[in-house]
C-alpha cells in the first residue's frame, strides 16, 4: 500500500514539474516589448530597402511603356500614310497655316499642349497648366509669331482611331466627322483607352487626347511640307538645341538634332511677310517626331530659365524622344 502511494505521489510531482517547464504556461507565450520593437525595426529596414527598389522598377516600366507607345504612334501615322497615298491624318486647318488670318503656306505642324478651346494649356494630373507648346514661325518685326490654328494630339488620334465625335459632354464632332479623313473606317492605332474621370488619365481619354503614363499629352510633329524632316515647335529653337561650344560649331545640335535646313520642295514658297532665314532651324530626320515630358512631367524652353531650358538638361533631361529611343533608361 505504501509502495503504491509513493508511486502515485512521484507521478504527481513529475506532472507538476512538466507543467512548470511547459512553454505554453499562461503568461510566457506573449512577445516582450523588446522583441516587438526588434521586429518592428527589422520590418522598417526591409521597407526602406524595398520601397526605392519598387519605385525604380515602376519608373523603368513606365519609361518602357512610353517608348513603346511613342513607337506605335510613329508606325500608326506611317501606316495611315501608306493607306491613304501619303496623306497625313490631320485637318486642312493644320496643313494650310495662317497668322492673323493671312495664309503662310504649308509648314511642319506640332500637336502640342493646347486644350480643346485652342486658347489655353492642358492640365497635368495635379490640375496645373502644362508648358505651352504651340506652333510659331519667325516673322520680321515680330519675332516668333503664333499660328492661328493650335490643337493637341486629339486631332491625330481621332483619325487614327476612327472617332467621329468626342466622348465628352456634348459629343462635339471631331475632324473625322462622318469618317471623312478615314473613309475605310480602319483603326490604325492600338492606343489604350481610358474611361477614368481623372483630369489627366494615361491613355486615350474621353477628350481623345493621348497621354503618357504620367498623364501628359504626347507631343507629335508631322512633316506636312514633305521635305523629309520635322521641325518640332520646341526642339527647333536655337536656345534649346544649339551647341555653343566652339568644338561643336557645326550642323549638329543637342539630342541628335541637325541645323542645316534642306532645300524645300519646288512647290514651297515663302510668303514675303515670313523671314526665310528662320534662326530656329533645328530639325529631326523623318516624317514623324513624337516626344513625352517624361517622368518629371516637365518641359522647358523659356529664355528666362537658362539652366533648365537646354535639350539635355534640367526639366528636359528625362524627356523621351522618338528620335533617341536607343538611349538607355534613367
Q: What is the pLDDT of residue 279?
A: 55
Report which listed range, 5-9, 23-27, 174-178, is most confident: 174-178
pLDDT at 270: 41
- Note whether 145 and 275 are within 8 A (CB): no
Residue with the three cell numbers 507629335: 220
In this structure, of 23-32, 150-159, 193-202, the range with the lowest mean pLDDT score is: 23-32
Distances (CA, A) of 275 to 4, 49, 107, 225, 242: 122, 57, 13, 17, 20
Residue 25 falls within a domain, yes or no?
Answer: no
Residue 32 lies in a domain: no
The pLDDT value given to residue 161: 98
How does pLDDT run across 68-114, given as a tens digit for each residue? 999 999 999 999 999 998 999 999 999 998 999 999 889 999 999 99
Q: What pLDDT does residue 96 have?
A: 94
* Residue 242 Cα to chain centre, angstroms: 24
- Work out the pLDDT band at 6, boundaries 50, 70, 90: low
Pick from 140, 149, 29: which is nearest to 95 by CA? 149
State residue 17's pLDDT score: 54
Q: 328: pLDDT confidence band, cut at 50, 70 and 90?
A: very low
Mean predicted confidence (pLDDT) in 135-139: 84
- When mean pLDDT is compared over 170-184, 232-246, 295-309, the highest value belongs to 170-184
Cell numbers found for residue 159: 483619325
Query: Is residue 171 assigned to a domain?
Result: yes
Q: Which of 135-144, 212-221, 311-320 has the lowest mean pLDDT?
A: 135-144
Whether 239 is covered by a domain: the verdict is: yes
In the prediction, which pLDDT does 275 show?
37
- pTM over cut 0.85: no
Domain that includes residue 96, residue range: 54-324
Three-state SS for 315? helix
Is it the case that residue 203 has pLDDT exceeding 90? yes
The confidence score (pLDDT) of residue 201 equals 86
**Percentage of residues in the chain having pLDDT higher than 90:** 47
- Residue range 130-154: average pLDDT? 88
Q: How many CB atoms lie within 10 A of CB 84?
A: 17
User: Could you tell me the pLDDT band of residue 312, with boundaries at 50, 70 and 90?
Assistant: confident
Q: Which three cell numbers stand for residue 177?
A: 466627322
The three cell numbers of residue 232 are: 518640332
Is 314 contained in some domain?
Answer: yes
Segments of 127-206 assigned E as strands: 136-139, 143-146, 203-204
Which is nearest to 193 in space by CA: 203, 180, 183, 201? 203
Share of the chain above pLDDT 70, in %: 77
**Residue 203, helix vs strand vs coil:** strand
3-state SS, 25-67, equals CCCCCCCCHHHHHHHHHHHHHHHHHHHHHHHHHHHHHHHHHHH
- pLDDT for 249 equals 45
| pLDDT at residue number 304 | 60
Query: pLDDT value at position 245?
Result: 46
35 assigned to some structural domain: no
Number of compact structural domains in the chain: 1
Q: pLDDT band for 150, please (50, 70, 90 cuts).
A: very high
- 6 inside domain: no
Q: How far apart are CA 294 and CA 147, in angstroms?
A: 26
pLDDT for the residue numbered 89: 97
Q: Does residue 132 belong to any structural domain of this protein?
A: yes
> Which of 273, 276, 279, 281 shows the shortest CA–CA distance to 100?
273
Q: How confident is the model at residue 262 (pLDDT cuts 50, 70, 90)?
A: very low
Amino acid at each position: 500500500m505504501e509502495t503504491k502511494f509513493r508511486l502515485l505521489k512521484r507521478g504527481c510531482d513529475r506532472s507538476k514539474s512538466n507543467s512548470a517547464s511547459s512553454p505554453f504556461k499562461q503568461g510566457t507565450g506573449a512577445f516582450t516589448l523588446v522583441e516587438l520593437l526588434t521586429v518592428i525595426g527589422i520590418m522598417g529596414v526591409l521597407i526602406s530597402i524595398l520601397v526605392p527598389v519598387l519605385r525604380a522598377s515602376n519608373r523603368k516600366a513606365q519609361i518602357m511603356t512610353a517608348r513603346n507607345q511613342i513607337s506605335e504612334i510613329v508606325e500608326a501615322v506611317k501606316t495611315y500614310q501608306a493607306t491613304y497615298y501619303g496623306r497625313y491624318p490631320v485637318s486642312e486647318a493644320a496643313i494650310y497655316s495662317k497668322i492673323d488670318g493671312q495664309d503662310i503656306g504649308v509648314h511642319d505642324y506640332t500637336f502640342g499642349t493646347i486644350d480643346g478651346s485652342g486658347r489655353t494649356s492642358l492640365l497635368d494630373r495635379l490640375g496645373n497648366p502644362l508648358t505651352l507648346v504651340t506652333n510659331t514661325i519667325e516673322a520680321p518685326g515680330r519675332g516668333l509669331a503664333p499660328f492661328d490654328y493650335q490643337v493637341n494630339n486629339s486631332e491625330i488620334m481621332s483619325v487614327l482611331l476612327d472617332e467621329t465625335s468626342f466622348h465628352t459632354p456634348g459629343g462635339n464632332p471631331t475632324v473625322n466627322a462622318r469618317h471623312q479623313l478615314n473613309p475605310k473606317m480602319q483603326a490604325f492605332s492600338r492606343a489604350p483607352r481610358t474611361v477614368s474621370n481623372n483630369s489627366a488619365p494615361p491613355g486615350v481619354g474621353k477628350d481623345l487626347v493621348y497621354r503618357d503614363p504620367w498623364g501628359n499629352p504626347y507631343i507629335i510633329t508631322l512633316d506636312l511640307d514633305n521635305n523629309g524632316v520635322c521641325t518640332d515647335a520646341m526642339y527647333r529653337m536655337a536656345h534649346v538645341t544649339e551647341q555653343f561650344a566652339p568644338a561643336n560649331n557645326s550642323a549638329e545640335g543637342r539630342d541628335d538634332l541637325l541645323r542645316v535646313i534642306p532645300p524645300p520642295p519646288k512647290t514651297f514658297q515663302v510668303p514675303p511677310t515670313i523671314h526665310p532665314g528662320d534662326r530656329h532651324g533645328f530639325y529631326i530626320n523623318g516624317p514623324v517626331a513624337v516626344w513625352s515630358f517624361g517622368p518629371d512631367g516637365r518641359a522647358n524652353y523659356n529664355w528666362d530659365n537658362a539652366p533648365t531650358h537646354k535639350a539635355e538638361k534640367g526639366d528636359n533631361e528625362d524627356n523621351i524622344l522618338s528620335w533617341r529611343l536607343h538611349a538607355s533608361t534613367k
